[in-house]
Chain A
Amino acid sequence: MTGTRRILLLLLGGALAAALLLPATAGAHGIVGKADLPIPVWLFSWTAAVVLVVSFVALSTLWRRPQLQQQHARALFRLPRAVDWSAGALGLALFALVLYSGFAGAQISFVNFSVTFVYVIFWVGLPLLSVLFGDVFRAFSPWRTTARLLRAAGARVAPRVFAEPVLRYPSWLGVWPSVAGLVGFAWLELVYVNRDEPAMLATLSVAYFLVMVAGMGLFGVERWGERADAFGVYFNLLARLSALTRRADGTVCLRRPLSGLTDLPVRRGTVALLCTIIGTTTFDGLSNGGIWRNNEPHLQSLFAALGFNQTPALELAYSLGLLLCIALIAGVYRLGVLGVHSVSARYDTAQLTRAFAHTLAPIGFAYVLAHYFSLLLWQGQAMGYLVSDPLGNGANIFGTSGFQIDYQILPYATIWYVQVAALVTGHVGGLTLAHDRSLTLYDDPNEAVRSQYWMLAVMVAFTSFGLWLLSAVGT
């Protein structure tokens, strides 16, 4: 190892140690919340930027060949087909429980199984499971299982009719239906005033289920699932970060983390999907902060002046905020791509937009984990009593209905450090992917390095913005 390389490795180690030392110092002061941290929040932003810059330097000098563009998967074990169908049956059973509790249970959000399951376990827990264990949702998806069952049954009755999908999925549609689905779900969660009504949630779940089964029946289970099932596409995207993957024959393989993203099919709407994931989380953070709370009434008044009642005016103001946040994320990414394009005219902006799109995936997960970690940690515990009393009518099926949420399970400061670590790690992951891709795009080292300056700027911008959003929550 040369002296220069040793210095760079020391620098990288020093930066990481500094990042890890900050929590230790803070924890020593017995901190109970991020507002009471012994060091100002902006210092976290600066430390994160330093970690990213050092990572950039280390990548530029030490990572000389593409390492992630080919998947070196090592077979671990083979899952029997029975596991697949068992997971599908379990997914269907859980879906049925969501519907039953939604329609028949008490119409109070915190005592009804459906609300916590959909907004916490499904929406926040599954992304984490996907990153840890791969595309688990594919196996549990109730609509995929139903469509496969219907197709298998149909193939027995009329093999010719069910041999091929009835319709061909239009390529121009890409993953835009998934983008619409994710924006719709985010709108439901963040904007719609009656979002906590269990019956409404169950009704929407039935509607989504029917649309998915119909789409899979008409266009093919996998083709539709990989393009138009918003949740299927979303969880599959996050599962590509995982070190675990599953081949078509059921063999579970170990691969380099992040390498699954390099062969992400960038279809029409994929970049919009990634920006939507980050943008919706951004809006969730922003809408809980002081800036939005101070300015939202003006926006609401504007819509009220246009003739809307109070509730629609509120929903329109929030809808506008949601769309603006998605546009903001898309704008920052676009600026980064334009910067990369300014380095070399070899590729046009459309090609570069597609080429670096996958680098947004770790950022999306980082935003989701950082933002919803406390929700998962606290509200996830509610499943302890909800499984015993899913309808909220006083039942005690498993004897755990008296279970209570422990809000002291982790100190507030620890939660904050987990959030910071998630954000920084996610952005270093994005930077690594961008660097690896640049090595395949540019032969000239100057061009490769220059292009990554722009991606570094994008990553630092997203990190600083993410930390600021987190720090502003509840102010």
Chain B
Amino acid sequence: MLTTVLCLLPALLLALPLLARRYPGERVLVSLRTAGPQREPWPRPRASVAPRWRREPLIARGGQLLARSLAVRPPPVRLPAS
């Protein structure tokens, strides 16, 4: 019985502060996350000529898939530039 309690204790110890809406170490985590140099993405070389066509993904995947499934209404239809 004691082994059972001791085995399951880590989960209980973690759950108790969460149930009390306490998130131990949260501030430290957020500050560590936001601290440090924010890397800028590599500058993309500008294309000398505009692409003749742009391939649109036929099937939404990953984040796009999630965003579409969660969207209350779909994004507005992009009109061609006049």
Contact = CB atoms under 8 A, between A and B. Distances in A.
A392 interface: no
Contacts of B25: 57
Interface string A290-315: 01000000000000000000000000
B49 interface: no
A344 interface: no
A263 B33 contact: no
Contact of A40 (B3, B15, B23, B63): B3
A64 B33 contact: yes
A69 B63 contact: yes
Contacts of B30: 445-446, 449
Interface string A386-405: 00000000000000000000
Interface residues of A, number: 49
Interface in A34-78: 40-42, 45-46, 48-49, 53, 57, 60-61, 64, 66, 68-71
Contacts of A230: none
A25 B35 CA distance: 39
Given A460-B14, A467-B7, A61 B33 contact: yes
A465 B3 contact: no
Contacts of B70: 347, 351, 355
A8 B69 CA distance: 35
B62 A262 contact: yes
Contacts of A334: none
Contacts of B32: 4, 8, 60-61
A471 B69 contact: no
Nearest to B21: A342
A268 interface: no
Contact of A70 (B9, B34, B63): B63
B66 A355 contact: yes
Interface residues of B, number: 31
A111 to B, nearest CB: 39
B33 A4 contact: no
A272 B45 CA distance: 48
Contact of B10 (A49, A355, A471): A49
Interface of A: 2, 4-5, 8, 40-42, 45-46, 48-49, 53, 57, 60-61, 64, 66, 68-71, 262-263, 291, 339, 342, 347, 351, 354-355, 437, 440-441, 445-446, 449-450, 453-454, 456-457, 460-461, 464-465, 467-468, 471-472
B63 A450 contact: no
A331 to B, nearest CB: 13
A354 B7 contact: no
Interface of B: 3-4, 6-11, 14-15, 18, 21, 23, 25-26, 29-30, 32-37, 61-63, 65-67, 69-70
Q: Is the interface of A mostly helix, strand, loop or mixed?
A: helix
Nearest to B62: A69
10 contacts: A45-B7, A45-B8, A46-B10, A49-B11, A61-B29, A64-B33, A70-B63, A263-B65, A456-B14, A471-B3
Contacts of A4: 32, 35-36
Contacts of A291: 4
B6 to A, nearest CB: 4
Nearest to A47: B10
Given A4-B35, A339-B18, A351-B70, A460 B29 contact: no
A121 B29 CA distance: 45
B33 A449 contact: yes
Contacts of A60: 29, 32-33
A269 to B, nearest CB: 16
Nearest to B61: A263
Contacts of B62: 66, 68-71, 262-263
A78 B64 CA distance: 28
Contacts of B9: 42, 45-46, 464
Contacts of A446: 26, 30
A450 B26 contact: yes
Contacts of B7: 41-42, 45, 464, 467-468, 471
Nearest to A348: B70
